[in-house]
Every structure is written in structure tokens, then in C-alpha cells.
Structure 1
């Protein structure tokens, strides 16, 4: 169960964050949901709103090699024989500060058999007139270099209409093709001529997405990538992030449980792609005493 529920608000935005998983349980603007919420005290469903570290997405079979040593982390997605979404999404975090419009939490990730490294992970949440801002700072407090990656796991809501009617815009040139059963990454594929070309706004329709996108173009004149999701009724939600996250995982929440099926679009800006602990692609090697920062913002349209 969630150990705490901490609320912050400003400029029409209101958010609730749980102490377990540092998860954003609810985010609204002028009373409208921008993220798929879950109930107070409810276990976090489908990593909804959680902070993910020290790796995003999956490590097939939970096995990887780092520094010439083969390591194995626990399998927590048995249907795909994968280690999914790191080690901090369902554990208690310590509250560092809680003010009207900002909240800070911390988790000390102790060395374990499969991840023998020590990290100090701080997350800050701030709301202001420009939206809901998140920053994740991970510091290597151990004696050895550590592999590292992070992402958030919010499910965005454009409005009251069905997800199939929403329009998505994301200037991404390629996506990572995966195997149909275990979603193991295969190769980068151009979005040209595929249902995954959202460089101009496109209706989601019945398309099922559970893929990582990259070759992300930033907003002209700025240093951030922007994703926009719009409901045909006129409402919408946007998410922006910096170049610390050159990848983004999108998932249309296709689910075997009817009440969770396609209820929102998971948007996960990632510092590295799936299985980066094995491929090394965009993997952060966090040296002792150093800190890595990544951040993103959600705002109403």
C-alpha cells in the first residue's frame, strides 16, 4: 500500500505523489486529469506515475555484463522473462521537503547481488504556471563505476474522449523494432511509411504501440523535445524533456484487464533504450562521486 500521499499545487495545477515509488498518483489542471490517476492507498498499477531507475524498460532474462562481470537481476515480468523498470518503483522513498508547490524525495539504492552499486537518487517535483516539472538526480556514492538509466512512467490523458480518437504529435525519425513475444529490441527502423510516423499530428486509431522512439528533433530555437496529445473535444496535454533523454517509450496501454485497457498513453522519456545494460547504447556510466540529472515537464494544452 502507498505509505504517504503528498499534495502540491500552483497556478491551477494540482498533484499528489506517493511515498512508495515516488509515484505521481494524480495530476490535474483546473480540475481536469492530465494523467491517468489511481486511488489513494491503492498499490501502483502498471508502474503508473512511478520513477524508474537504475534502468528503464527491460533487461531480457535479467542478465547483463558490466566491467567484464556477468550479473543477474531478479525477473519481475515472468511472462516475458525480463527484469522490468529497475529497482526503485515500488519501494519507500524519504521525504526531504514538502512545501505548497514543491516536493523532494530520496531513495538510497543499496548494493545487491545483481546490482552491486550504491546510488543516491533524488527526485524533485515543482508546479508553477508553466506546468508540472520533475528532476531526477542520481549520485554514485559507491566505490565503483555503475551502469545507469532512468525514466518516468506517466500515462497521459488528452481529454474525456477514447484514446483511439486522440491525435499524437512527436517529431521522432526512427523507432526500435522488437520481437512480438518478449519485446526484445531488434533494430532501428525509419518511421517513414509506417503507422508510427507522428512527425505531423496523427490520430492514434486502433494502432497498438509499445516501442521506443529516437532521432528526436527539438523544438525550433529551443533545447527540448515536445510531445503533444489532443482530444477531439479541444483539450490536450503536452510533455517536454531535455537532451538527457534521447529516447522515449510510448505505450497505448493495451491491457488484458478491461478497465485498464487503452485508458491513457504512457510517455516515458528515457536516458537510454531498452536493454542498454547489454548493448551499451546511450548507457550512462556513473563514476564514483558524480551525479546525473534528467528532467521533464507535463503541461495542459
Structure 2
């Protein structure tokens, strides 16, 4: 068996996506055989979180500690070097198929009450490919417990550079603010964009590299968009208004010779369980849903 469990392939026309059981991750998305997102092999674990689904929180929680409704909680430290809990509880879980047809796959996960997160959430992620519109990813969650639950969601796709160096990539970001972080990558505030990190009009990366969170996004008609373009084409990542934050991470050699630009839509800021920035609180029976997608360019 592949290290990431069962592998499902969905397709429409020449659009093909491969989704994996562990982490409900997107292992690859191609159009006409050309990689639109970065991928990895069946005998590999997702490098640097490639393609994984982030629930019930995205990014980091400082020290794995937070207090909710008066009760202090301590999560396991899954980023021990920095002392953080990172990327939620679904990353290494086997998600269960709920629906599958030629172009659509839905996977579900019951997040059970546990140390540090004593809440009950049922999460689902639906991947759908369309021959004209590309890939759409819909995340959903329902509080199936008896008490209120803190919640956040996100995804971790890497857009491919199609064989080009990062220096040759043109990046467009719809943000007006960048998060200011401490030495553990935990936000301590935000600031307006400087000339160096203002990519609203699209700029060639050159020597600039990112591992930054952004907010103050600028949706148009209910959608925000970010773009990665290369001399050989690129991709537009869109997201609906439920995603108020983006984490952007540029990485050479995600796998040998494969460079990528992670553009991660997130409902909340890193450490939102402590700061409250974008945090969702689901009452018993409450449901949440949000969508993002990728259109090849």
C-alpha cells in the first residue's frame, strides 16, 4: 500500500486529480499531463505538508496551548523544534470515502474528543474537476458534540513552477496586510504592505522568497484570487470570502528538482485559538462550508 493509503483518481476531459486517504490530500493535479500543482510519489509522505487538508485549525498554535470557554487546553507539539502544534488533527488520519464518481470525490473524518481538543467535529472535503473550470475544493464541518467548539480550516496546495526556477516566477497576491511574527512563526500583529512585499499588481520573484501570512484580502464578487505564472503557463488559485487569510511559502526542491509556491487559503490566522483572529466558534449542530479552487493558466 502507498504510504498515504488509498489513492483515488478523478478526471474530466484532460484534467486529472489524485487524492489520497491519509490527510485527505491532493497528491497531484495535471492538465494534459502537465503538472498544475506539485506532486510526490506513492512511496513518499507529503513533503512540507504538500496538498494536505488542515482541520480543525490551520497553521500553528503557540506552545499547543489555548483556553476556550474558561478551560485550558494542551495539544501535542507536532512542530517540536519551534514548540507549536501545527496543521490540525486530520493530517495523519485516514479519511473515509463518502461519495465518488468520475469527476468528484468526497472524504470524511470524525475528529473525536481528545487531549487538547475535547470537541466533536465531523469534517468533509470534496474534490471536483471540470473540463472548463478546473479544480474546486469544498471544505465542510459540523459540530456533532454537545458543546461549543473552536474551529478553523485550510488547505496546503503548492502551485507548480513547470520546471522554472523560483526567480522566474511571477506572483500576484490580493492582500493589503502582512502578518508580523515572532521567532516561532506566531503572529504578534499585522502591518500594511511595504514596497518589498506588495504583489497586488503581480511581480517577478527574483531573489524574494516568502514564508508569510497575509490578510486584508480583496475579494471581487465574492472571490479573491492569487496567481503563479511562468514562461510555460501557470495557475490561478481562487477562494471564497470564508477564507480571510493566505499563507504563502516559496520553496526550492520541494522534491528533487521540483520547485513550488504554496498558497494556502485559511479561515483564520495562525494561532487563532489564542488571538481569535478569524476564529470560528461552532455551536452544537452548526455547520460551516467554504470553497477554493485552481484554474490552469
TM range (shorter): over 0.9
SS of the equivalent of 2:259 reads: coil
Number of the residue aligned with 2:283? 287
The match for 2:269 among 270, 273, 279 is: 273
Q: C-alpha offsets along residues 199-256 of structure 1, whole Å, 9 cap, x if unaligned? A: 111111222211111111123xx2100011100x2411110000000111101126xx
Number of the residue aligned with 2:249? 251
Number of the residue aligned with 1:57? 59
**In structure 2, distance between residues paired with 1:93 and 1:147:** 21
The normalised TM-score by structure 2 is 0.96
RMSD of aligned C-alpha atoms? 1.5
For residues 172-251 of structure 1, what are the structure 2 equivalents within 5 Å?
172-179=175-182, 181-193=183-195, 195-219=196-220, 222-231=221-230, 233-251=231-249
Number of the residue aligned with 1:143? 146
Contact 2:38 2:258 in 1 (8 A): no
Contact 2:104 2:128 in 1 (8 A): yes
**Are 1:132 and 2:128 counterparts?**
no
**In structure 1, distance between residues paired with 2:146 and 2:102:** 37
SS of the equivalent of 2:216 reads: strand
The normalised TM-score by structure 1 is 0.94
**In structure 1, distance between residues paired with 2:165 and 2:250:** 12
SS of the equivalent of 1:77 reads: coil
The match for 1:122 among 121, 124, 138 is: 124
Q: CA deviation at 1:46?
A: 1.5
The match for 1:23 among 2, 25, 37 is: 25
**In structure 2, distance between residues paired with 1:97 and 1:41:** 26
Number of the residue aligned with 1:263? 259
The match for 1:170 among 173, 187, 195 is: 173
Q: C-alpha offsets along residues 52-92 of structure 1, whole Å, 9 cap, x if unaligned? A: 01111101110001001110100011111100000001110
Q: C-alpha offsets along residues 148-179 of structure 1, whole Å, 9 cap, x if unaligned? A: 00000011114221122100111211110112
Uncovered stretches (5+) of structure 1, i.e. residues with no partner = none
**In structure 1, distance between residues paired with 2:234 and 2:42:** 25
Q: CA deviation at 1:259?
A: 4.4
Uncovered stretches (5+) of structure 2, i.e. residues with no partner = none
**Cα distance change on mapping 1:261 and 1:285 into 2, 3 Å:** farther
Q: C-alpha offsets along residues 19-45 of structure 1, whole Å, 9 cap, x if unaligned? A: 111100010011110111010242222
**Are 1:33 and 2:31 counterparts?**
no
How many residues are aligned here? 294
Q: CA deviation at 1:47?
A: 1.2
Q: After the TM superposition, which segments of 4 or more aligned residues of structure 1 sit over 4 Å from their partners?
A: 257-262
Q: CA deviation at 1:261?
A: 8.4
Contact 1:253 1:260 in 2 (8 A): no
